[in-house]
Structure 1
Amino acid sequence: MTKMTLGSYPHMLGFEQLERLLERTAKGSEGYPPFNIEQTSDHSYRITLAVAGFAETDLSITVEDRQLVIRGRQSDDGDGRIFLHRGIAARQFQRSFVLAEGVEVGEAVMENGLLHVDLTRAQAETIVQTIRIKATHGKETS
Protein backbone atom coordinates (compact mmCIF):
# COMPACT_ATOMS: atom_id res chain seq x y z
CA MET A 1 0.00 0.00 0.00
CA THR A 2 1.34 3.43 -0.93
CA LYS A 3 1.65 6.06 1.79
CA MET A 4 -0.39 9.15 0.88
CA THR A 5 1.27 12.48 1.53
CA LEU A 6 -0.02 16.02 1.19
CA GLY A 7 2.17 16.32 -1.90
CA SER A 8 0.05 13.58 -3.48
CA TYR A 9 -2.91 15.97 -3.72
CA PRO A 10 -2.42 18.39 -6.64
CA HIS A 11 -4.76 21.02 -5.14
CA MET A 12 -2.83 21.24 -1.86
CA LEU A 13 -0.01 23.64 -2.69
CA GLY A 14 2.57 24.76 -0.14
CA PHE A 15 1.58 22.34 2.66
CA GLU A 16 4.91 20.49 2.84
CA GLN A 17 5.79 22.21 6.12
CA LEU A 18 2.47 21.10 7.64
CA GLU A 19 3.29 17.51 6.80
CA ARG A 20 6.68 17.81 8.53
CA LEU A 21 4.98 19.34 11.61
CA LEU A 22 2.52 16.43 11.79
CA GLU A 23 5.32 13.87 11.59
CA ARG A 24 7.39 15.69 14.25
CA THR A 25 4.39 15.92 16.58
CA ALA A 26 3.52 12.24 16.22
CA LYS A 27 7.06 11.24 17.29
CA GLY A 28 7.05 13.15 20.60
CA SER A 29 3.92 11.84 22.29
CA GLU A 30 5.09 10.37 25.61
CA GLY A 31 2.55 10.15 28.41
CA TYR A 32 4.13 12.36 31.10
CA PRO A 33 2.85 14.64 32.40
CA PRO A 34 -0.82 14.04 31.66
CA PHE A 35 -2.67 16.99 30.16
CA ASN A 36 -6.07 18.27 29.04
CA ILE A 37 -6.95 20.58 26.18
CA GLU A 38 -10.26 22.39 26.40
CA GLN A 39 -11.97 24.94 24.22
CA THR A 40 -12.94 27.85 26.45
CA SER A 41 -14.68 29.95 23.76
CA ASP A 42 -15.02 30.07 19.99
CA HIS A 43 -11.51 31.52 19.72
CA SER A 44 -9.67 30.39 22.85
CA TYR A 45 -8.23 27.22 24.37
CA ARG A 46 -6.64 26.12 27.62
CA ILE A 47 -3.96 23.48 28.03
CA THR A 48 -3.74 22.08 31.55
CA LEU A 49 -0.79 19.92 32.66
CA ALA A 50 -0.64 17.96 35.92
CA VAL A 51 2.68 19.16 37.39
CA ALA A 52 2.34 18.25 41.07
CA GLY A 53 5.64 18.72 42.87
CA PHE A 54 6.97 21.31 40.41
CA ALA A 55 7.45 24.91 41.46
CA GLU A 56 7.03 27.79 39.00
CA THR A 57 10.82 28.09 38.89
CA ASP A 58 11.11 24.43 37.80
CA LEU A 59 9.04 25.09 34.66
CA SER A 60 9.71 26.96 31.43
CA ILE A 61 7.31 27.84 28.63
CA THR A 62 8.62 28.89 25.22
CA VAL A 63 7.32 29.22 21.68
CA GLU A 64 9.78 27.83 19.14
CA ASP A 65 8.98 27.69 15.43
CA ARG A 66 5.18 27.68 15.97
CA GLN A 67 5.46 25.08 18.75
CA LEU A 68 4.52 25.68 22.36
CA VAL A 69 7.18 23.88 24.40
CA ILE A 70 6.70 23.31 28.13
CA ARG A 71 9.66 21.92 30.06
CA GLY A 72 9.95 20.83 33.65
CA ARG A 73 13.07 20.06 35.64
CA GLN A 74 12.91 19.53 39.41
CA SER A 75 15.93 20.08 41.56
CA ASP A 76 16.77 17.06 43.68
CA ASP A 77 16.41 18.27 47.26
CA GLY A 78 17.12 14.87 48.82
CA ASP A 79 20.43 15.97 50.30
CA GLY A 80 20.82 14.46 53.75
CA ARG A 81 17.46 12.66 53.58
CA ILE A 82 17.16 8.89 53.78
CA PHE A 83 14.28 7.47 51.77
CA LEU A 84 12.88 4.06 52.72
CA HIS A 85 10.82 4.22 49.53
CA ARG A 86 11.07 6.82 46.80
CA GLY A 87 8.05 6.71 44.51
CA ILE A 88 8.01 10.44 43.74
CA ALA A 89 11.07 10.98 41.59
CA ALA A 90 12.50 14.30 40.46
CA ARG A 91 11.56 13.69 36.83
CA GLN A 92 12.11 16.06 33.95
CA PHE A 93 9.79 16.39 30.97
CA GLN A 94 9.19 18.23 27.74
CA ARG A 95 5.75 18.61 26.12
CA SER A 96 5.29 20.19 22.70
CA PHE A 97 2.11 21.45 21.05
CA VAL A 98 2.03 22.63 17.43
CA LEU A 99 0.30 26.00 17.09
CA ALA A 100 -1.75 26.90 14.04
CA GLU A 101 -1.11 30.17 12.23
CA GLY A 102 -2.65 33.00 14.27
CA VAL A 103 -2.71 31.15 17.63
CA GLU A 104 -1.08 33.20 20.38
CA VAL A 105 0.03 32.05 23.82
CA GLY A 106 -1.49 34.15 26.58
CA GLU A 107 -1.31 33.74 30.34
CA ALA A 108 0.16 30.79 32.26
CA VAL A 109 -1.05 30.12 35.82
CA MET A 110 -0.15 27.49 38.45
CA GLU A 111 -3.07 26.34 40.61
CA ASN A 112 -3.23 23.31 42.93
CA GLY A 113 -0.52 21.38 41.10
CA LEU A 114 -1.94 22.20 37.67
CA LEU A 115 -0.32 24.44 35.08
CA HIS A 116 -2.87 26.26 32.92
CA VAL A 117 -1.73 27.84 29.63
CA ASP A 118 -4.27 29.96 27.77
CA LEU A 119 -4.24 30.30 23.98
CA THR A 120 -6.22 32.58 21.69
CA ARG A 121 -6.78 32.34 17.96
CA ALA A 122 -7.11 35.58 16.03
CA GLN A 123 -10.15 35.73 13.78
CA ALA A 124 -9.02 35.58 10.18
CA GLU A 125 -10.19 38.33 7.89
CA THR A 126 -11.81 37.30 4.65
CA ILE A 127 -9.69 38.79 1.91
CA VAL A 128 -10.87 38.78 -1.67
CA GLN A 129 -8.19 39.57 -4.19
CA THR A 130 -8.98 40.15 -7.84
CA ILE A 131 -6.23 39.23 -10.28
CA ARG A 132 -6.15 41.28 -13.45
CA ILE A 133 -5.68 39.37 -16.68
CA LYS A 134 -3.34 40.99 -19.16
CA ALA A 135 -4.19 40.72 -22.80
CA THR A 136 -1.43 40.16 -25.31
CA HIS A 137 -1.91 41.15 -28.93
CA GLY A 138 0.28 38.87 -30.98
CA LYS A 139 3.93 38.07 -30.49
CA GLU A 140 6.27 40.75 -29.32
CA THR A 141 9.82 40.86 -30.63
CA SER A 142 12.80 42.16 -28.75
Structure 2
Amino acid sequence: MTAYDFTPVYRTAIGYDRLVQMIDDAMRRDTQSSYPPYNIEVLADDKYKITMAVAGFDRAELDIEVEQNTLKVVGRKAHRDTEPNYLHRGIAARNFEQIFHLDDHVKVEVAGLNNGLLTIELKREIPEALKPRKILIDAADNVHTLERRAA
Protein backbone atom coordinates (compact mmCIF):
# COMPACT_ATOMS: atom_id res chain seq x y z
CA MET A 1 0.00 0.00 0.00
CA THR A 2 1.28 3.47 -0.85
CA ALA A 3 1.46 5.90 2.08
CA TYR A 4 0.56 9.51 1.40
CA ASP A 5 1.81 12.49 3.36
CA PHE A 6 -1.06 14.91 4.01
CA THR A 7 1.14 17.50 5.76
CA PRO A 8 0.81 20.07 2.91
CA VAL A 9 -2.98 19.89 3.23
CA TYR A 10 -2.80 20.49 6.98
CA ARG A 11 -0.55 23.53 6.40
CA THR A 12 -2.86 25.26 3.92
CA ALA A 13 -6.42 24.05 4.51
CA ILE A 14 -8.28 24.95 7.66
CA GLY A 15 -11.24 22.85 8.70
CA TYR A 16 -10.49 19.95 6.36
CA ASP A 17 -8.63 17.92 8.97
CA ARG A 18 -11.61 15.58 9.52
CA LEU A 19 -11.87 14.86 5.79
CA VAL A 20 -8.14 14.18 5.47
CA GLN A 21 -8.27 11.95 8.55
CA MET A 22 -11.17 9.97 7.00
CA ILE A 23 -9.20 9.47 3.76
CA ASP A 24 -6.14 8.40 5.70
CA ASP A 25 -8.19 5.97 7.83
CA ALA A 26 -9.90 4.53 4.75
CA MET A 27 -6.55 3.88 3.10
CA ARG A 28 -5.26 2.12 6.21
CA ARG A 29 -8.44 0.07 6.65
CA ASP A 30 -8.73 -1.06 3.05
CA THR A 31 -8.71 -4.59 4.42
CA GLN A 32 -12.16 -4.14 6.01
CA SER A 33 -14.35 -7.18 5.54
CA SER A 34 -16.70 -7.11 2.57
CA TYR A 35 -19.10 -9.46 4.34
CA PRO A 36 -21.97 -9.21 4.01
CA PRO A 37 -22.03 -7.95 0.44
CA TYR A 38 -23.75 -4.60 -0.01
CA ASN A 39 -24.68 -1.94 -2.57
CA ILE A 40 -24.85 1.82 -2.10
CA GLU A 41 -27.28 3.53 -4.49
CA VAL A 42 -27.82 7.21 -5.25
CA LEU A 43 -31.58 7.61 -5.60
CA ALA A 44 -31.59 11.40 -6.03
CA ASP A 45 -29.29 14.34 -5.32
CA ASP A 46 -30.10 14.07 -1.62
CA LYS A 47 -31.25 10.43 -1.23
CA TYR A 48 -29.24 7.21 -0.86
CA LYS A 49 -29.96 3.55 -0.20
CA ILE A 50 -27.74 0.84 1.26
CA THR A 51 -28.79 -2.73 0.48
CA MET A 52 -27.09 -5.54 2.39
CA ALA A 53 -27.44 -9.26 1.69
CA VAL A 54 -28.11 -10.72 5.14
CA ALA A 55 -29.54 -14.13 4.28
CA GLY A 56 -30.10 -16.25 7.37
CA PHE A 57 -30.44 -13.29 9.77
CA ASP A 58 -33.65 -12.49 11.61
CA ARG A 59 -34.68 -8.92 12.50
CA ALA A 60 -33.80 -9.60 16.15
CA GLU A 61 -30.24 -10.54 15.14
CA LEU A 62 -29.59 -7.23 13.34
CA ASP A 63 -28.78 -3.92 14.98
CA ILE A 64 -28.52 -0.53 13.25
CA GLU A 65 -27.00 2.36 15.19
CA VAL A 66 -26.15 5.95 14.25
CA GLU A 67 -23.72 7.90 16.39
CA GLN A 68 -22.54 11.30 15.21
CA ASN A 69 -21.52 10.71 11.57
CA THR A 70 -21.14 6.94 11.78
CA LEU A 71 -23.69 4.32 10.75
CA LYS A 72 -22.96 0.90 12.22
CA VAL A 73 -24.79 -2.26 11.11
CA VAL A 74 -24.19 -5.32 13.29
CA GLY A 75 -25.37 -8.87 12.76
CA ARG A 76 -25.07 -11.36 15.63
CA LYS A 77 -26.40 -14.87 15.17
CA ALA A 78 -28.37 -16.09 18.16
CA HIS A 79 -26.70 -18.96 19.98
CA ARG A 80 -28.48 -22.28 19.47
CA ASP A 81 -28.33 -25.18 21.88
CA THR A 82 -27.90 -27.57 18.96
CA GLU A 83 -26.24 -26.75 15.65
CA PRO A 84 -27.74 -28.33 12.52
CA ASN A 85 -25.71 -31.15 11.02
CA TYR A 86 -24.91 -29.66 7.59
CA LEU A 87 -23.87 -31.80 4.68
CA HIS A 88 -22.93 -28.54 2.88
CA ARG A 89 -23.05 -25.03 4.32
CA GLY A 90 -23.00 -22.36 1.61
CA ILE A 91 -24.90 -19.59 3.42
CA ALA A 92 -22.29 -17.88 5.57
CA ALA A 93 -24.58 -16.30 8.22
CA ARG A 94 -21.58 -15.34 10.35
CA ASN A 95 -21.44 -12.40 12.72
CA PHE A 96 -20.48 -9.08 11.17
CA GLU A 97 -20.03 -5.39 11.84
CA GLN A 98 -20.12 -2.95 8.93
CA ILE A 99 -19.37 0.75 9.43
CA PHE A 100 -20.32 3.58 7.07
CA HIS A 101 -19.15 7.16 7.52
CA LEU A 102 -21.91 9.68 6.85
CA ASP A 103 -21.44 13.21 5.63
CA ASP A 104 -22.80 16.07 7.74
CA HIS A 105 -26.59 16.30 7.69
CA VAL A 106 -27.11 12.77 6.24
CA LYS A 107 -29.82 11.08 8.29
CA VAL A 108 -31.19 7.54 8.28
CA GLU A 109 -34.84 7.70 7.26
CA VAL A 110 -35.97 4.07 7.39
CA ALA A 111 -34.67 0.51 7.43
CA GLY A 112 -36.37 -2.69 6.33
CA LEU A 113 -35.71 -6.40 5.94
CA ASN A 114 -37.30 -8.30 3.07
CA ASN A 115 -36.30 -11.57 1.40
CA GLY A 116 -32.86 -11.60 3.06
CA LEU A 117 -32.04 -8.02 2.00
CA LEU A 118 -31.60 -5.28 4.59
CA THR A 119 -32.30 -1.83 3.11
CA ILE A 120 -31.38 1.42 4.80
CA GLU A 121 -32.59 4.66 3.23
CA LEU A 122 -30.72 7.87 3.93
CA LYS A 123 -31.40 11.51 3.15
CA ARG A 124 -29.28 14.64 3.27
CA GLU A 125 -31.22 17.31 5.18
CA ILE A 126 -29.43 20.64 5.11
CA PRO A 127 -30.74 23.01 7.81
CA GLU A 128 -32.37 26.22 6.58
CA ALA A 129 -29.61 28.31 8.18
CA LEU A 130 -26.99 26.61 5.93
CA LYS A 131 -28.94 26.79 2.67
CA PRO A 132 -28.09 29.55 0.18
CA ARG A 133 -30.36 32.57 0.48
CA LYS A 134 -30.99 35.64 -1.62
CA ILE A 135 -30.13 39.02 -0.16
CA LEU A 136 -32.49 41.73 -1.31
CA ILE A 137 -30.97 45.04 -2.29
CA ASP A 138 -32.97 47.92 -0.85
CA ALA A 139 -33.75 51.02 -2.86
CA ALA A 140 -31.43 54.01 -2.33
CA ASP A 141 -34.20 55.85 -0.43
CA ASN A 142 -34.32 53.09 2.18
CA VAL A 143 -30.56 53.20 2.74
CA HIS A 144 -30.68 56.93 3.58
CA THR A 145 -33.68 56.38 5.82
CA LEU A 146 -31.79 53.65 7.71
CA GLU A 147 -28.70 55.88 8.06
CA ARG A 148 -30.78 58.72 9.55
CA ARG A 149 -32.46 56.35 12.05
CA ALA A 150 -29.08 55.04 13.20
CA ALA A 151 -27.74 58.57 13.85
- The question of whether the paired residues in 1 share the 8 Å contact of 2:110 and 2:120 is answered with yes
Distance change >3 Å, CA 39–CA 80, structure 1 → 2: closer
Which one of 111, 114, 117 corresponds to residue 114 of structure 1?
117
Which one of 125, 131, 141 corresponds to residue 131 of structure 2?
125
Distance change >3 Å, CA 14–CA 127, structure 1 → 2: farther
State the 1:97 CA deviation: 0.7
The one-letter code matched in structure 2 to 1:50 is A
Tell whether 2:95 aligns with 1:92.
yes
Distance change >3 Å, CA 79–CA 116, structure 1 → 2: same
State the 1:90 CA deviation: 4.3
CA distance in 1, matches of 2:114, 2:45: 24
* Structure-2 residue corresponding to 1:38: 41
- The question of whether the paired residues in 2 share the 8 Å contact of 1:54 and 1:74 is answered with yes
* Structure-1 residue corresponding to 2:8: 8
Structure 1 residues not aligned, in runs of 5+: 129-142
* Structure-2 residue corresponding to 1:139: none
State the 1:122 CA deviation: 1.8
What SS does the corresponding residue of 1:18 show, helix, strand or coil?
A: helix
- Give the percent of matched residue pairs that are identical in Structure 1 and Structure 2: 35
- The question of whether the paired residues in 2 share the 8 Å contact of 1:40 and 1:46 is answered with yes
Distance change >3 Å, CA 80–CA 126, structure 1 → 2: closer
State the 1:104 CA deviation: 0.7
How many residues are paired up?
A: 127
* Structure-2 residue corresponding to 1:67: 70
- The question of whether the paired residues in 1 share the 8 Å contact of 2:35 and 2:96 is answered with yes
TM-score (norm 1): 0.76
Quick check: 116-125 or 71-80, which moved more? Answer: 71-80
Distance change >3 Å, CA 77–CA 88, structure 1 → 2: farther
Structure 2 residues not aligned, in runs of 5+: 135-151
- The question of whether the paired residues in 2 share the 8 Å contact of 1:75 and 1:90 is answered with no
- Measured against aligned partners, the alpha-carbon deviations of 1:65-111 in whole angstroms (never above 9, x if no partner) come to 31111000111436164333444344100111110011111100111
